[in-house]
Structure 1
């Protein structure tokens, strides 16, 4: 029974990871695998009902949600690896630190090809988990929640908000006559990244690493990522994914219900603010305080939706019908690093200048169709791969470098 529970736990976590990769692919593919500001004319060219529908779905249900979902699973995996190594008497800290360093190197190489890489963010945050693993469950939970709703980012914005509110009554002076207009950053990004050759793009990406961290801190994503690391570690400490479904389900139902209500309440309040502003023509979109309040609601809504996804999908995987639909995601999740890098390769080949040059050509809804078809092929490929191999190719290299010893790769029966 214990072996069966362990197998079910592994499949469940891998399927969750596969679902997260599907969401990440959709979030990246919808707007041509961009990782920066894009010229507005690209969006205007496809403006219509279809784009508004997929754009709304993306904004509410996908964008900014699945990097956090994946971060939760990273924190869970951190705890599971730590517990496994400590239970077997193997040293954990230095082995984990070296493993994270290798992941950071992979991330920097990936960043050279695509600025949206998340591994180069995970690596430094992964080191922060080492001292934080000594904290109590209560502290981990509270810190995780506060970071997941981007409380540090909101506090950092407060002085600027107060300054903006004080200066709101005084319009800025007009620019001096003859002053040169600044070049549109979106056009610079577009020409440098999407319209240049591979080497020029890579040099630009490498030099932009500082801008990437500026964005992470400015948007609060780095705090949110660390917050979900901690929440994933907390779930591992509670043993939820080590329990049988009968033991786990009551806790997950409670979490699903509470997070679901929080999603609904914040969504209704946010929509209400937008509707009232439109009907009464209050001009709140031009005022700093309503924008700040809306940001708070958005952060809470996003964090609650991620928790709802994790709890809800875990519960669905206890039902035979949903197992049929969701368990095929497990091989993709088991090969998560390789799958993630292959998704980037797809984006580069389709949209960039050294590929098919389809940026702005394909409509966002079509990009989603392409993404779904590609993901189905990924799921099939990963299932086939694991018939013959123990690890994905990048996972095998990573594991081999971690232990300084070639790991088993090809299954013996495959030669028969």
Structure 2
């Protein structure tokens, strides 16, 4: 099957964009109070805080939403392939999800406590049992998952509003560990606090289910198609996503971080649709064509680049590495983010000149042939 260039480019933007959020967590040594909802330093208190807030308005949750949506689109492509080739769905796709769960677990233990791959793996298993059903059934499941998510996040936001200035406990312990602890001590800390750090991955499953199914429906209805119908649909998404998403995401400016959770998990996915339309429009018009090609190369090696960018950030900021973490300026953090992005572009460009797949993707291809499907040897990579 011929690759869809737009999907690779969108995936590349999504990988870089998720780092745009995670880089602050690395830089502040895991102290979420310094990243989200810091009531002691409102956004107007300094130019440094304003720059951080602007960056979070632009990236926080938006590209994670895009990555989630693209997972759903990729699943639909594999379902269509299963139909064409006449094998059972979900079949070996469950095996792929199991591999993703293992990959995410290793990434969580060895690299970063806020890994999203485990959540995607569980979501993939759930959605794979829905995606082959009727359009009506899919829409009902989307409505159900979306309603559960919105009600839950809105309820938590309302509770936070009654505790203005509330902060997460235990952040000092985490920052001390990442400032001075060894890599192995950090590994053991993640293992010992598995439930605490994995709570978000479980909580966002309803949102993931909704976005997976939305991505699948977009693929099914031709949103990603390279024709006039696809372009028209993407323009409508761009207008609606920006028109509704921008005002909703400006709620991040409300003092005290009261709306931070609501913005990240409800407002952000709306703006994601606007970003999808803008990126697609830029590709169609050939704007920054070479730059878009580099993003497409990152997208082809998305899993490798996602893991690599977190390893690089760990080395740069943590105590066992170069010790850049703590309270660096926002400009300094953004420069490091830009530097990592450039490294990923160079790495993916050079790698793909010699190999058709990224290193993790190559290993994934080898392992994704499940014990029960080796006879057919079909590609089941995610």
Q: Where do residues 46-195 of structure 1 align in structure 2 (5 Å cutoff)?
A: 49-113=46-110, 114-141=112-139, 143-144=141-142, 147=145, 151-156=147-152, 184-195=169-180
Question: Does structure 1 residue 315 correspond to structure 2 residue 281?
Answer: yes
Residues 310-342 of structure 1 show CA distances to partners (whole Å, capped at 9, x for unaligned) of: 122112211122433322211111001110110
CA contact (8 A) 1:256 1:311 kept: yes
Q: Where do residues 248-267 of structure 1 align in structure 2 (5 Å cutoff)?
A: 248-266=230-248
Of 302, 305, 313 in structure 2, the residue corresponding to residue 339 of structure 1 is 305
Measured in 1, the distance between the counterparts of 2:14 and 2:235 equals 20
Report the number of matched residues: 361
Shift of 1:138: 4.5
Residue equivalent to 2:215: 232
Residues 365-395 of structure 1 show CA distances to partners (whole Å, capped at 9, x for unaligned) of: 2122122122122112212211211211111
Shift of 1:106: 0.9
Question: Does structure 1 residue 301 correspond to structure 2 residue 295?
Answer: no
CA contact (8 A) 1:14 1:331 kept: yes
Structure-1-length-normalised TM-score: 0.76
Measured in 2, the distance between the counterparts of 1:19 and 1:79 equals 21
Of 4, 7, 13 in structure 2, the residue corresponding to residue 19 of structure 1 is 13
Of 346, 366, 380 in structure 2, the residue corresponding to residue 400 of structure 1 is 366
What are the ranges of 5 or more consecutive residues in structure 2 without an aligned counterpart? Answer: 163-167, 378-382
CA contact (8 A) 1:137 1:237 kept: no
Residues 225-262 of structure 1 show CA distances to partners (whole Å, capped at 9, x for unaligned) of: 22211111111111332x32323111111121122221
Residue equivalent to 1:197: 182
Shift of 1:131: 1.4
Residue equivalent to 1:351: 317
Change in 2 beyond 3 A, CA 1:92/1:387: farther
Residues 188-212 of structure 1 show CA distances to partners (whole Å, capped at 9, x for unaligned) of: 2222344211111101112322113
Shift of 1:91: 4.0
Measured in 1, the distance between the counterparts of 2:282 and 2:75 equals 24
Q: CA RMSD in A?
A: 3.4
What are the ranges of 5 or more consecutive residues in structure 1 without an aligned counterpart? Answer: 169-182, 279-284, 408-416
SS of 2:325 mapped into structure 1: coil
